[in-house]
Amino acid sequence: MMPDPTSDQPDASRLRRWRELLQSEREAAALYERLAQAETGERREVLRELAAVERRHAAHWEGRLRDAGAEVPPPGAVPLRTRLLGRIADHWSVAAVLPLVERSEKADAGTYDAEPDAAPGMAGEERGHARTLSHLNESRPSAREGIARRETWHRGDRSGALRAAVFGVSDGLVSNTALVMGFAGSGSSRTAIVLAGVAGLLAGSFSMAAGEYVSMSGQREMYEREIGLESQELEEDPESEREELVLLYRAKGLSKQEAGKVADTIMADRDVALDTLAREELGLDPDALGSPWSAAVSSMLTFALGALVVILPYLVTGGTTALVAAVCLFLVALAAVGAGIGLLNGRTAWRSAARQVVVGALAAAVTFAVGRLIGTSVS
């Protein structure tokens, strides 16, 4: 027989592992409770059930530590990531952060698969969390919840503004810094560097806004056309559309009789039928077509904000002092953007920050070197 891994006295590395798992479960429970506060109806109850499961997992590791005679660390402060995601959920909607939480759960789904000290069922429950969050992402609130949360719908990121903002500030920061460093490396005057930076800010901002507007408009028009065709098919041949739903749900594992009942229920309401067909058959979300104007304005403003960073020192001074200050501001801003992306994605903030700094600094260094080479050869 294989020896029971839980029968021996745990060593320091096992105790440390138990404390890490305890901390992880406590943080997950706090996150689900925080998101539940920003939700309503059945979705709130689902999030609270997930929090309860995480608390039960945490209690398991607390018990293991006590049984081993080890110290059980007290609950710490609410993690920064939990506070950040909670504020986003309050300001926009829980739907805006659920994909980030789902991605994190999927990455951690196998935590207990090879963990000998986990309780029976814990591995399956952890894997089930990602599936539950996926269903929450895909689910549509009931009519009553939809009316109660109408203002929250407007605060969601269905417009694509949040995505455009993240890319905008990062692009503005890196591209305009690279441009300014090129001019600085060539030995250009302070006036020329400022003009180049301002020109890069304006050109990049309007270019980003135009690109986002055209892209989002084209995408929206394509989605609307697909949904329009589906609406026409539903009007002209509802029986065929019902059969398509039956096939879809049979493919998901329902019996023919069960799939037929579900399809009949959906087809009884034309709006629900069209919404379901768009999601299930076309893979589209009618509620998330996106606003071209919101994406364009968000992209323009955030690009300008990022591009402004490297210009600021040259508005005050010049020469080596301005160059050093610009580089320092650039690196700090890069680290902040990278850390923010890491926190939102549930990953290590310093690692994301380091990656952002390395990539951005490399781009700026190359253009500075090219500018220096051109400036030397011309002079």
Distance, CA of 294 to CA of 312 (rounded, Å): 27
Backbone angles phi, psi at 272, to 5 degrees: -65, -40
Residue written as tokens 């950040």?
84
B/e letters for 331-362, b = 16+ CB within 10 Å, e = fewer, are bebbbebbbbbbbbbbeebeebbbebbeebbe
The pLDDT, as a whole number, for residue 155 is 39
Distance, CA of 163 to CA of 232 (rounded, Å): 32
Distance, CA of 173 to CA of 332 (rounded, Å): 11
Distance of CA 212 to the CA centre of its chain: 19
Residue 174 CA: distances (Å) to CA of 305, 328, 340, 357, 363: 12, 13, 16, 10, 7
Distance, CA of 229 to CA of 224 (rounded, Å): 9
Distance, CA of 374 to CA of 368 (rounded, Å): 10
The DSSP H or E segment spanning 29 is helix 12-37
For residue 245, give both structure tokens.
């739903």
**Residues 358 and 331: beta-carbon distance below 8 Å:** no
For residue 17, give both structure tokens.
């592992």
Per residue, the 3-state secondary structure of 41-59, as one string, reads HHHHHHHHHHHHHHHHHHH
- Judged by phi (left if over 0) then psi (alpha if -120 to 50, else beta), residue 319 lies in left
Q: Using the 8-state DSSP alphabet, how is residue 377 labeled?
A: H
Q: How many CA atoms lie within 13 A of 374 on its CB side?
A: 14
Please count the other Cβ atoms lying within 10 Å of the Cβ belonging to residue 63.
Answer: 13
The pLDDT, as a whole number, for residue 142 is 40
| Tens-digit pLDDT string for the chain (379 aa) | 334 444 467 888 889 999 989 988 898 888 888 888 888 776 788 888 888 888 999 999 999 999 988 888 888 887 888 888 888 888 777 877 887 787 777 777 778 877 888 887 787 777 777 767 766 665 544 433 433 343 333 334 444 455 566 677 888 888 888 888 888 888 888 999 999 999 999 998 898 888 878 887 887 777 777 778 777 877 877 887 787 777 667 766 677 788 888 888 888 888 888 887 777 666 666 555 567 887 788 888 888 998 899 999 999 998 889 899 999 998 998 888 888 777 766 667 788 888 888 888 888 888 888 888 886 554 4
The pLDDT, as a whole number, for residue 289 is 59
Residue 152 CA: distances (Å) to CA of 40, 79, 90, 157, 359: 11, 25, 9, 10, 37
Backbone angles phi, psi at 281, to 5 degrees: -85, -40
Closest Cα to residue 260, out of 276, 272, 243?
A: 243
For residue 253, give both structure tokens.
């594992």
The pLDDT, as a whole number, for residue 346 is 63
Residue 86 CA: distances (Å) to CA of 35, 83, 92, 220, 289: 6, 5, 10, 29, 24
